[in-house]
């Protein structure tokens, strides 16, 4: 691998990672902050438990604070998973099979954890 | 009954008050965590359990969420600054996520008291790693994962490669395990190993460790979420507060002498470790 190509590849990967982290964080923060505002306006309904994704989505669409909290937390947790998934795609596009495999292994462990949590 | 309902008897105003208090604590902790590359959980969990009497598993649930937030926030800054060795991070993440998965499963099985005791011991270990001299100047290309970055403090370009990768993988597994078990980032376990043994310059080691922490913490956090140990009343103000604090902290991290700052927080860590162990012994 030539030096110039290596540096520009690393930069592309950094940019992808940066974009995923920034969007995920912004969305998650916005959801949780909206939840707090809704809660203050419309009575205190923050429960002491979190909701599964489908229920969180339904309540968010219904404009309920509890939905915004859970969805915000889920987006926060999904951000690193998406970051790794984006890296897999970035390495595949670059035809860097070795690192595509490395990141795929990491993604596999994360998905295993999601499945074990449900079961 | 479900552990997440323990805080429910609090009245409405007490709930808002608690959320505000947690938010303020989290802002302070997030700032310090971003500066030191400590992730924040190392301070949050003892404060929550010792001073706010929050059950340790709920404290861990809130902390691990905030660790994900801190790492993502610091990651957006560090990656932009080019300090993070992204490829090395991805190799080591295989080990940290496997460790986190095992740790998260273990934490659901062992007693809260055992978790508190373990936490106290890990605090002492973290203190030990901070007290140990952490300087080497032999960073150089090795032919394995060579990379370079521009040091923001000295404006010099540093080129280095990786040594002893297998040792790094083993340490990363342990760090991931502690992270999943106790809800902390595991930076103080990885950073010294990466710096002193793998030959990564300290600033790059901290940035790369921070970068890995988000993926590692998310792996066990999804377990805590699914099993009901994430309480939004605790986790939301913690995450938002830590995010705010970390934005400031991680922006300053490349410019200040973190070693000096770390010294100041060794006393705080010692105090928290003693409190945590005392809580365990007292029962």
Q: Beta-carbon neighbour count of residue B55 at 10 Å?
A: 18
Query: B185 versus A69: which is more confidently predicted?
Result: A69
Smallest CA–CA distance, residue B87 to chain A, in Å, is 8
Whether B3 shows a pLDDT value over 60: the answer reads no
Instruction: State the Cα–Cα distance between residues B220 and A114, nearest whole angstrom.
Output: 9
Q: If you search the block for the tokens 């994962």, which residue do you land on?
A: B145
Instruction: Calculate how close chain B gets to A102, using CA atoms only, in Å.
Output: 6
**Residue located via tokens 């309902």:** B5
Q: Is the pLDDT of residue A28 over 50?
A: yes
Range of the domain at A55: 3-118
- Beta strands per DSSP E along chain B: 147-150, 157-160
C-alpha distances in angstroms, B197 versus B134, B138, B186? 11, 11, 17
pLDDT digits (tens, 9 = 90+) for B123-179: 998 888 877 766 666 678 887 888 888 776 777 888 899 989 999 999 999 999 999
Interface of B with A in 166-205 (CB under 8 A): none
Q: How many domains does chain A have?
A: 1
Which residues make Cβ contacts (< 8 Å) with residue A107, sequence separation at least 6?
A81, A84, A85, A88
* A75, containing H or E segment: helix A65-93
CB B254 within 8 A of CB B152: yes
Cβ proximity of A79 and A24 under 8 Å:
yes
Residue B1: band (very low, low, confident or very high) from pLDDT cuts 50, 70, 90: very low
Min CA distance, A76 vs chain B (Å)?
7
Poorest-confidence range of A56-60, B195-199, B244-248? B244-248
Least confident of A69-73, B65-69, B252-256: B252-256
Return the sign of the alpha-carbon dihedral for residues B151, B168, B268, B101: positive
Spatial CB neighbours of A43, under 8 Å, sequence gap ≥ 6: none
pLDDT of residue B175: 94
Query: Quick one: what percent of chain B has pLDDT higher than 90?
Result: 44
- Among chain A residues, CA nearest to B6: A48
Amino acid B254: pLDDT:
65
Mean pLDDT (whole number) for B16-31: 89
Confidence at residue B16, expressed as pLDDT on a 0 to 100 scale: 79
Q: Does B228 touch chain A (CB under 8 A)?
A: yes
Q: Are B226 and A117 in contact (CB under 8 A)?
A: yes
Is the minimum CB–CB distance between B95 and chain A shorter than 8 Å? no
Residue B4 pLDDT level (bands cut at 50, 70, 90): very low
Q: Long-range contacts for A36-40 (Cβ within 8 Å, ≥24 apart)?
A: A36/A65, A36/B236, A36/B240, A38/A63, A38/A64, A38/A65, A38/A68, A39/A65
Task: Quote the pLDDT of residue B266.
Answer: 82
Half-sphere exposure of A48 (CA within 13 A, CB side): 19
Average pLDDT in the B252-271 region?
75
How far is residue A34's CA from residue A71's CA, in Å, rounded to a whole number? 11
Average pLDDT, chain A: 87
Distance in angstroms (rounded) separating the CA atoms of residues A71 and A68: 5
DSSP β-bridge partners for residue B157: B150
Residue A24 has pLDDT above 50, yes or no: yes
Dihedral of CA atoms A64, A70, A74, A76 in degrees, nearest 10, equals: 90
Q: What's the pLDDT band for B9 if we cut at 50, 70, 90?
A: low
Chain B residue closest in CA terms to A16: B79
**Any residues with CB less than 8 A from the CB of B224 and at least 6 apart, and which?**
B57, B60, B61, B64, B65, B104, B107, B183, B230
Whether the predicted pLDDT of B271 surpasses 80: yes
**Do residues B237 and B23 make contact, with C-beta atoms less than 8 angstroms apart?**
yes
Cα–Cα distance list, A77 to B70, B228, B246 (Å): 12, 15, 17
- Is 70 exceeded by the pLDDT of residue B39? no
| Strands annotated E in A1-112 | none
A10 vs B172, which has greater pLDDT? Answer: B172
* Nearest neighbour of A113 by CB, restricted to B86, B93, B219: B219
For the cut 80, the answer to whether the pLDDT of residue B269 exceeds it is: yes
Q: Considering chain B, what is the average pLDDT of its residues?
A: 85
Higher pLDDT, B107 or B262: B107
Q: Which residue has the higher pLDDT, B186 or A68?
A: A68
Nearest CA in chain B to A119: B226
B26's CB contacts (< 8 A; 6+ apart) are B40, B44, B66, B237, B238, B239, B240, B241, B242, B244, B245
Q: Between A55 and B82, where is the model more confident?
A: A55
Best mutation site among B236, B237, B241 for testing chain A: the one with the most A CBs within 10 Å?
Answer: B236
pLDDT computed for residue B145 by the predictor: 86
Band of pLDDT at residue B5, cut at 50, 70 and 90 = very low
pLDDT digits (tens, 9 = 90+) for B227-258: 999 999 999 999 999 888 877 776 776 677 76
Determine the pLDDT at residue B37. Answer: 63
Q: What is the pLDDT of residue B141?
A: 83
């Amino acid at each position: 691998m030539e030096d110039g190509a290596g540096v520009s590849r690393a930069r592309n990967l950094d940019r992808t990672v940066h974009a995923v982290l920034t969007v995920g964080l912004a969305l998650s923060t916005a959801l949780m902050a909206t939840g707090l505002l809704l809660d203050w306006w419309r009575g205190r309904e923050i429960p002491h438990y979190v909701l599964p994704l489908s229920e969180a989505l339904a309540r968010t669409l219904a404009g309920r604070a509890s939905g915004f909290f859970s969805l915000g937390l889920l987006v926060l947790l999904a951000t690193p998973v998406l970051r790794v998934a984006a890296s897999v795609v970035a390495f595949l596009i670059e035809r860097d099979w070795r690192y595509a495999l490395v990141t795929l292994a990491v993604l596999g462990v994360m998905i295993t954890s999601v499945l074990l949590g449900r079961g | 009954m479900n552990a997440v309902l323990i805080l429910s008897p609090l009245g409405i105003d007490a709930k808002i008050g608690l959320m505000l208090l947690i938010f303020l604590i989290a802002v302070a902790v997030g700032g310090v965590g971003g500066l030191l590359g400590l992730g924040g959980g190392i301070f949050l969990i003892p404060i929550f359990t010792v001073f706010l009497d929050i059950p340790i598993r709920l404290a861990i649930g809130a902390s691990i969420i905030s660790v994900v937030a801190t790492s993502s926030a610091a990651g957006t800054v560090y990656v932009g600054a080019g300090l993070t060795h992204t490829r090395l991070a991805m190799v080591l993440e295989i080990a940290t996520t496997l460790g986190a998965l095992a740790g998260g499963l273990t934490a659901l099985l062992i007693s809260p008291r055992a978790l508190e005791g373990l936490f106290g011991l890990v605090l002492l270990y973290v203190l030990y790693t901070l007290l140990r001299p952490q300087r080497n100047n032999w960073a150089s290309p090795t032919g394995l994962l060579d990379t370079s970055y521009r040091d923001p403090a000295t404006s010099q370009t540093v080129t280095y490669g990786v040594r002893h990768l297998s040792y790094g993988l083993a340490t990363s597994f342990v760090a991931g395990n502690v992270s999943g078990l106790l809800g902390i980032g595991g930076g103080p376990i990885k950073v010294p190993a990466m710096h002193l043994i793998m030959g990564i310059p300290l600033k790059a080691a901290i940035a790369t460790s921070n970068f890995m922490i988000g993926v590692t913490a998310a792996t066990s956090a999804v377990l805590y979420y699914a099993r009901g140990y994430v309480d939004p009343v605790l986790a939301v103000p913690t995450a938002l507060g830590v995010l705010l604090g970390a934005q400031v902290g991680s922006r300053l991290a490349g410019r200040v002498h973190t070693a000096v700052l770390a010294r100041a927080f060794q006393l705080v860590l010692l105090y928290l470790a003693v409190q945590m162990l005392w809580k365990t012994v007292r029962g």
